[in-house]
């Protein structure tokens, strides 16, 4: 592909000029005002693009003590405007909202009446202060013959583990329709818990583990002071789902691995607080109250079905006791699984993408030396003894997976691609109906897993150079899982999903050093699935 389907020379020049025009707003005094003045210290964001609209977000600081989670500060009226140009000479929509301490002074505007497949600029104003300006883009019209779409894809950004250079590199691109964030946008741990104190690159706030509403608000606010994260949100609409660390490690409906009821309060209260802070601080439009499962459409080319795999799941099973096959246990919950099945079967687009926070492809383990099995077990949620099931993933809920994959087969649903994060590794895999007999039995879907932005992976757990110990581990995994085409256990970075009617291709990019805020980015590999094949194959380098 020589260029993005919609990018002409004139469009590219306009985008560069628009980027330059945004700089004064991003760096101006109104965004970071002097003490005592109203300010926009947490940037702006947009999300969940529709053909006729987009969700806008900001957080206003009306007084110096009105910090995130403080519950302090006066109410303030916040105006917003959307324009066709970066100088805001052609404003096409405007309105206002009231920011109060009850909502942590966050503001959302669900703007409608816009044109499909169109770039817009937006900003907020309060007490005469302007926010930074942001750029967003609406989705193609529902029945548009869209020639191509392109998404950035990220997951697992632990503040203490490194810098968010991956976000900066995605923000610098002008060929993306949106960025898909597959979960673990924040981490709940206390400082020095993960990673260990000696490996902390930069301390987060608050320093203790977050457990109540003020804590979760403070952590979200701290994340959104990161300049690379602010740049990402200002440059592209973000489509986000949550995973466990937006709550606590290994979350399920009634608790979490990293939650102690006796000392950390009631789980239901903690989960409600985490969800409230998430919806306050993220540009997410919930379709079902209190969840992130919803559907977005991009012309006739693609439906995107976004899942919530934490709110309804049964507790993770203990490995080795057969509970993973219990039909009474669920990962999705009955209502969500029925919604997902119906959405996939009724879709009339070329592609069906599932935003999927935990891996659906089955993973078994061959013989591995103990020094490799222990860190892999930690990353993948396995016991140190190496039993071949990760019960936090779809492997721990085989009845739900079997029902979904059987549905795809029985209904003849093709071109389904699962887009996944969570495990701090990059994978490209077929999703077989029966892994034990693959490739004699068919593949019914494909899966692209992106690695972490910063969260620790295999080489960091072992404290060895990248791409050393992983050679043995990768060989063992591929030998035991013939549907797995590629695994990268060591890198940090992001993906770019490039979609046309003929193929869906994931381009994997890696960072030079997550501990360096100026880290460079380079292309590593590309894998694609051709329309109608349900198989993954290696692809050539992308051409921008």
Nearest to 69 by CA among 370, 315, 277, 342: 277
- 194 plus 73 within the same structural domain: no
Distance CA 439, CA 430 (A): 10
Residue 369 confidence class, pLDDT cut points 50, 70, 90: low
Q: What is the pLDDT of residue 372?
A: 65
d(CA 276, CA 212): 10
Same domain (yes/no): 112, 167 = no
The C-alpha atoms of residue 386 and residue 384 are separated, in whole angstroms, by 5
Please tell me the predicted confidence (pLDDT) of residue 20. 34
Q: In Å, what is the CA distance from 413 to each residue of 325, 462, 474, 503, 531?
A: 24, 42, 31, 16, 12
Share of the chain above pLDDT 90, in %: 78
Q: Compute the mean pLDDT over every residue in the chain, rounded to the nearest whole number.
A: 90
Q: What is the DSSP string of 121-156?
A: EEEEEETTEEPPPEEEEPPPPTT-----EEEEEE--
Residue 143 lies in a domain: no
User: How far is C-alpha 293 from the chain's CA centre?
Assistant: 13
Within-domain flag for 21: yes
- In this predicted structure, the answer to whether residue 160 has a pLDDT above a threshold of 90 is yes
Query: Based on the domain organization, do 246 and 358 belong to the same domain?
Result: yes
- The CATH number of the domain holding residue 236 is 3.60.21.70
Would residue 430 count as lying in a domain?
Answer: yes
- Does residue 142 form part of some domain? no
Query: Helices 165-172 and 227-235: crossing angle, nearest 10°?
Result: 30
Last residue of a domain, one of 137, 167, 193: 137
Question: At 46, phi and psi to the nearest 5?
Answer: -135, 160
Q: Is residue 544 part of a domain?
A: no
- Tell me the C-alpha distance between 432 and 534, whole Å: 9
Look at residue 444 and tell me if it is in a domain: yes
Q: What is the pLDDT of residue 197?
A: 95
Same domain? For 130 and 181 the reply is: no
Give yes or no: residues 133 and 153 share one domain.
no
Based on the domain organization, do 303 and 375 belong to the same domain?
Answer: yes
Q: Is 262 helix (H, G, I), strand (E, B) or coil?
A: helix
CB of 188 within 8 A of CB of 258? yes
pLDDT tens digits, 72-105: 999 999 999 999 999 999 999 999 999 999 999 9
What the block records as the tokens of 541 is 């380098």
Both 49 and 198 in a single domain? no
Mean pLDDT, rounded, for 43-66 = 98
Q: What is the CATH number of the domain that holds 120?
A: 2.60.40.380
Same domain, 118 and 204: no
**Residue appearing with tokens 């969840």:** 291
CA distance 45 to 214: 22
Report pLDDT digits (tens) over 227-237.
999 999 999 99
Name the E strands within 52-105: 53-59, 76-83, 91-99
Same domain, 222 and 297: yes
Does residue 515 sit in the same domain as residue 398?
yes
* CA distance to 59, 82, 107, 286, per residue, from 101 (Å): 11, 25, 11, 22
Contact (Cβ atoms closer than 8 angstroms) between residue 420 and residue 357 = yes
Domain boundary among 74, 106, 137: 137
Longest dimension (CA), the chain: 69
Q: Which of 87, 106, 137 is the last residue of a domain?
A: 137
- Predicted pLDDT at 157: 98
Q: What are phi and psi of 81, to 5 degrees?
A: -145, 145
DSSP designation for 442: P
Q: Which of 47-51, 138-142, 459-463 has the least mean pLDDT?
A: 459-463
Q: Check if the beta carbon of residue 349 is closer than 8 Å to that of residue 301.
A: yes
284 within a domain of the structure (yes/no): yes
Determine the pLDDT at residue 319: 67
Considering the domain architecture, whether residues 113 and 161 belong to the same structural domain is answered as no
Domain count, the chain: 2
Distant-in-sequence, close-in-space partners of 166: CB < 8 Å, separation ≥ 6: 154, 157, 228, 453, 454, 492, 493, 494, 509, 511, 521
| C-alpha to C-alpha distance for 185 and 179, rounded to whole angstroms | 13
- At residue 275, φ and ψ (nearest 5 deg) are -65, -40
Query: Residue 271 half-sphere exposure, CB side, CA atoms within 13 Å?
Result: 23
Q: What is the pLDDT of residues 317-337, one digit of tens each?
A: 986 556 888 999 999 999 999
Domain that residue 344 falls in? 149-539
Average pLDDT over residues 219-246: 98
Same domain (yes/no): 180, 69: no
Contact 117, 90 (CB under 8 A): no
In a domain, 406, yes or no: yes
SS3 content of the chain, % helix, strand, coil (to 5): 25, 25, 50
Q: Which whole-number Å values give the CA distances from 205 to 132, 187, 202, in the listed order? A: 24, 11, 10
Q: What is the pLDDT of residues 196-214, one digit of tens each?
A: 999 999 999 999 999 999 9
């Amino acid at each position: 592909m020589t260029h993005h389907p919609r990018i002409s020379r004139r469009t590219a020049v306009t985008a560069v000029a628009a980027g330059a025009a945004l700089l004064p707003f991003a760096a101006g005094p109104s965004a970071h005002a002097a003490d005592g003045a109203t300010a926009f210290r947490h940037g702006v964001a947009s999300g969940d693009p529709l053909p006729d609209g987009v969700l806008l977000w900001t957080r206003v600081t009306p007084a110096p003590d009105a910090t995130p989670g403080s519950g302090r500060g006066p109410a303030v009226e916040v105006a917003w405007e959307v324009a066709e140009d970066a100088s805001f000479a052609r404003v096409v929509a405007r309105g206002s909202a009231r920011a109060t301490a009850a909502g942590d002074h966050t503001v959302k505007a669900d703007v409608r009446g816009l044109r499909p497949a169109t770039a817009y600029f937006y900003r907020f104003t309060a007490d005469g202060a302007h926010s930074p300006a942001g750029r967003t883009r609406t989705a193609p019209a529902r029945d548009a013959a869209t020639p191509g779409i392109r998404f950035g894809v990220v997951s697992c950004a632990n503040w203490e583990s490194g810098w968010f250079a991956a976000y900066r590199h995605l923000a610098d691109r002008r060929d993306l329709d949106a960025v898909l964030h597959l979960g673990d946008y924040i981490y709940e741990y206390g400082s020095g818990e993960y990673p260990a104190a000696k490996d902390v690159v930069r301390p987060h706030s608050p320093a203790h583990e977050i457990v109540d509403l003020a804590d979760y608000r403070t952590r979200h606010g701290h994340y959104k002071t990161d300049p690379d994260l602010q740049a990402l949100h200002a440059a592209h609409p973000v489509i986000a789902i949550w995973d466990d660390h937006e709550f606590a490690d290994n979350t399920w409906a009634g608790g979490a691995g990293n939650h102690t009821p006796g000392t950390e309060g009631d789980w239901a209260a903690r989960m409600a607080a985490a969800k409230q802070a998430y919806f306050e601080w993220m540009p997410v439009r919930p379709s079902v109250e209190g969840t992130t499962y919803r559907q977005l459409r991009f012309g006739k080319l693609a439906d995107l079905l976004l899942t919530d795999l934490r709110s309804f799941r049964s507790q993770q099973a203990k490995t080795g006791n057969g509970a993973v096959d219990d039909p009474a246990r669920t990962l999705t919950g009955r209502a969500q699984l029925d919604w997902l099945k119906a959405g996939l079967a009724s879709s009339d687009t070329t592609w069906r993408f599932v935003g999927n926070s935990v891996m659906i492809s089955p993973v078994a383990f061959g013989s591995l030396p103990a020094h490799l099995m222990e860190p892999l077990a930690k990353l993948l949620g396995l016991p140190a003894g190496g039993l071949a099931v990760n019960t936090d993933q779809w492997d721990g809920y085989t009845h739900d997976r079997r029902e979904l994959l059987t549905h795809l087969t029985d209904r003849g649903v093709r071109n389904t691609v699962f887009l996944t994060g969570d495990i701090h590794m990059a994978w490209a895999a077929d999703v077989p109906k029966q892994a034990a007999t693959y490739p004699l039995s068919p593949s019914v879907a494909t899966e692209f897993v992106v690695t972490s932005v910063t969260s620790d992976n295999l080489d960091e757990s072992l404290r060895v150079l990248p791409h050393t110990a992983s050679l043995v581990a990768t060989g063992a995994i591929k030998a035991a899982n013939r549907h797995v085409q590629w695994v990268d256990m060591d890198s940090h970075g992001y993906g770019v999903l490039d979609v046309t009617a003929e193929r869906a291709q994931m381009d994997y990019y890696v960072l030079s050093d997550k501990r360096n805020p100026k880290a460079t980015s380079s292309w590593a590999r590309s894998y694609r699935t051709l329309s109608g094949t349900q198989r993954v194959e290696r692809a050539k380098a992308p051409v921008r």
